[in-house]
Amino acid sequence: MLNIKTIDDATINQRVYQLNLGPQHPSTHGVMHLLLTLDGEVVVKIEPIIGYSHRGHEKMAENRIYEQYLPNPARMDYLSGMIFNHGYCMAVEKLCGIEVPRRAEYIRVITSELNRIASHFIGTMDYAMGLGAITPFLWGWDDRENILDLLEMISGSRLTYSYGRFGGVRNDITKEFYDGTRKFIERLRSRFWDYENLINQNVIFIKRSKDVGVITKEDALLYGVTGPTLRGSGVKYDVRKHEPYSVYPEFKFEIPTRKEGDCLARYQVRMAELEQSLNIIEQALDHLPPGPVRAKVPRFVTPPEGDCYVTFESARGAAGFYIVSDGTRVPYRIKVRAPSFSNLFVLTKICPGHFLADIVAIFGSIDVTVPEIDR
């Protein structure tokens, strides 16, 4: 990392030039636009420009009943749709005071964790691809494909699941899913060695990620960074542990953290979280309670007047739904806290002084999904 000071617009001289990384660029994960000011190959200033995939999800909520909004959360963070769906259902259930059967909660946790693994595979392997290693990316997709097959088995869909319903889930899990998940856990555990040695031990990978894009603890807290990106900076914070929701308190799992705060640390946190997610799934499968998967709820819910905020740990950090109800079937306002948004803007702090190639690495390592930022 070179020691070049950030300069503001007024002092930009002829030495520097601007480069548009995106909106269409192979490594911007969707339509993200990073306006770079470069001095040679060294970044002086970076300006993320968002809004290319704004679809007005929050506004949409004000024009439709609570049920009709069910497909939307999964379309914000398309890589962890199950988790967002879970979060939205929890928020409405809290607002209406609906008790969810325990079996449904367990199934939600299993599916959410499977989805988290799938999302982390994209996050880590996409990062590796940003560094130029294409093969691990496709191996990761192979493993992710198994998860999608499992989720398709129960929800019928592969990306935007709409599986959760108020008061439970749409349908019960099958024996096939149960056995398939067990088999998947075995299979994935046997493949960690390959990933560890192919990527994490590789000298080029380490050289490319170590001491690159260091987010200090203070910066992370200042910018409101959450999720694996925060845990990579040494802050032990996980919504699942610290503000427990659903049945997460019943499971034993660790929160992997790293002190360094660089790209390598973030990558390692994500890989370690895969194992923790597998542990949670295993425990949930072991203790899966019998019973119904859906509580008795009216066909169209009508929450009482009031508001509620529910926060949950998505694959990218602490996401949240804030719902204001005016006592009708249509929400008065829904506000979504998108973790990618606050994670993204830490770029402006950490990127100056890095090379152009590092920007791709840092951007990949904080793992944002653009539709979630723009909503």
Residue list 24-83, contact with other proteins (CB under 8 A): 25-27, 41, 64-65, 67-72, 75
Question: Applying CB under 8 A, which of residues 30, 52, 94, 202 lies at the interface with other proteins?
Answer: 202
Considering beta carbons, is residue 75 or 241 the nearer one to other proteins? 75
What distance in Å separates the CA atoms of residue 368 and residue 318, rounded to the nearest whole number? 13
What distance in Å separates the CA atoms of residue 371 and residue 33, rounded to the nearest whole number? 13
Which structure tokens are listed for 328? 């009708």
DSSP β-ladder status, 317-325 and 306-314: antiparallel
Question: Applying CB under 8 A, which of residues 179, 186, 211, 326 lies at the interface with other proteins?
Answer: 211
CB of 374 to other proteins, least distance (A): 18
CB of 365 to other proteins, least distance (A): 13
Question: Applying CB under 8 A, which of residues 81, 87, 130, 227 lies at the interface with other proteins?
Answer: 130
Q: Is 164 helix (H, G, I), strand (E, B) or coil?
A: strand
Q: How many residues bind other proteins (CB under 8 A)?
A: 59
Q: Before 23, cis peptide (omega within 30)? A: yes
Q: Is 64 helix (H, G, I), strand (E, B) or coil?
A: coil
Place of tokens 């002092």: 11
CB of 226 to other proteins, least distance (A): 26
Which structure tokens are listed for 198? 């192919």
Considering beta carbons, is residue 88 or 245 the nearer one to other proteins? 88
Task: Tell whether residue 279 is a contact of other proteins (CB under 8 A).
Answer: no
Task: Tell whether residue 142 is a contact of other proteins (CB under 8 A).
Answer: yes
CB of 146 to other proteins, least distance (A): 9
CB of 131 to other proteins, least distance (A): 4
- Inter-axis angle of helices 263-286 and 356-366, to 10 degrees? 20
CB of 166 to other proteins, least distance (A): 11
Which of these, 204, 136, 130, 40, lies nearest to 359 by C-alpha position? 130
Task: Tell whether residue 365 is a contact of other proteins (CB under 8 A).
Answer: no
Considering beta carbons, is residue 18 or 305 the nearer one to other proteins? 18
CB of 241 to other proteins, least distance (A): 32
DSSP β-ladder status, 168-169 and 331-337: unpaired
Residue list 298-317, contact with other proteins (CB under 8 A): 299-300
What distance in Å separates the CA atoms of residue 252 and residue 367, rounded to the nearest whole number? 26
Q: Contact 339/317 with Cβ under 8 angstroms?
A: yes
Which of these, 130, 113, 79, lies nearest to 263 by C-alpha position? 130
The mark string for 315-354 relative to other proteins (x by CB under 8 A, - otherwise) is ----------------------------------------
Task: Tell whether residue 156 is a contact of other proteins (CB under 8 A).
Answer: yes
Question: Applying CB under 8 A, which of residues 53, 160, 279, 348 lies at the interface with other proteins?
Answer: 160
CB of 288 to other proteins, least distance (A): 18
CB of 21 to other proteins, least distance (A): 9
Task: Tell whether residue 216 is a contact of other proteins (CB under 8 A).
Answer: no
Task: Tell whether residue 204 is a contact of other proteins (CB under 8 A).
Answer: yes
Q: Contact 312/319 with Cβ under 8 angstroms?
A: yes
What distance in Å separates the CA atoms of residue 329 and residue 52, rounded to the nearest whole number? 31
Annotate 9-57 with DSSP letters as a single string: GGG--TT-EEEEE-SS-TTSSSS-EEEEEEETTEEEEEEEE--TT---H
Strand ranges for the chain from DSSP E: 17-21, 33-39, 42-49, 164-165, 168-169, 306-314, 317-325, 331-337
Considering beta carbons, is residue 64 or 94 the nearer one to other proteins? 64
What is the identity of the amino acid at 332? Y
Question: Applying CB under 8 A, which of residues 16, 90, 91, 129 lies at the interface with other proteins?
Answer: 129
**Using CB under 8 A as the criterion, which residues of the chain lie in contact with other proteins when the complex forms?**
1, 17, 19, 25-27, 41, 64-65, 67-72, 75, 128-135, 138-139, 142, 145, 152-157, 160, 162, 165, 170-171, 174, 194, 197-199, 201-205, 207-208, 211, 299-300, 355-358, 360
